[in-house]
Amino acid sequence: MEDPSLNYLHSLSNGNELFKNRIIQLFMVELPEEVSIYEKALSSKNFFWASEIVHKIKHKIAFLQMEQSYEISEKHELALREGKLKYQTEFLEIITKILKFLTDCKD
């Protein structure tokens, strides 16, 4: 599994550290909230709702330039729409890696 990258954010921020830090902070707030909603959707067996949350998270994965992880998330989203958890473990590993990466960025 590839590592997250802030290269895209660096190019967007054009050296503006405040902007860069705000985006990182936004991800650090939103992602755990989205994961919590995702877990609620799964616990209620609402796989379509879970797939919608994966769809939102998938865009953060793309922003962090994780192409392979994006593909896994895409497959997971589609599998959830069929009521399958085939890519659940890989998806959670991706999320864990991103959360650690974001935490490390702020330290």
Range of the domain at 22: 7-106
| pLDDT tens sequence across 47-75 | 999 999 999 999 999 999 999 999 999 99
Confidence of residue 1 (pLDDT cuts 50, 70, 90): confident
Question: Do 39 and 53 contact (CB within 8 A), yes or no?
Answer: no
* Residue type present at position 105: C
CA distance 63 to 36: 21
Q: Is residue 56 situated within a structural domain?
A: yes
Q: Is residue 47 situated within a structural domain?
A: yes
Q: Is residue 1 situated within a structural domain?
A: no
Q: Is residue 2 situated within a structural domain?
A: no
Taking all residues of the chain, what is their mean pLDDT, rounded to a whole number? 95
Token pair 């992602």 in the structure block, residue: 31
Q: What is the pLDDT of residue 107?
A: 58
Number of folded domains that form the chain: 1
Q: Is residue 27 situated within a structural domain?
A: yes
pTM of full prediction above 0.85: yes
Q: Is residue 73 situated within a structural domain?
A: yes
Provide the CATH number for the domain around residue 43. 1.20.120
Q: Which two tokens stand for residue 28?
A: 């650090």
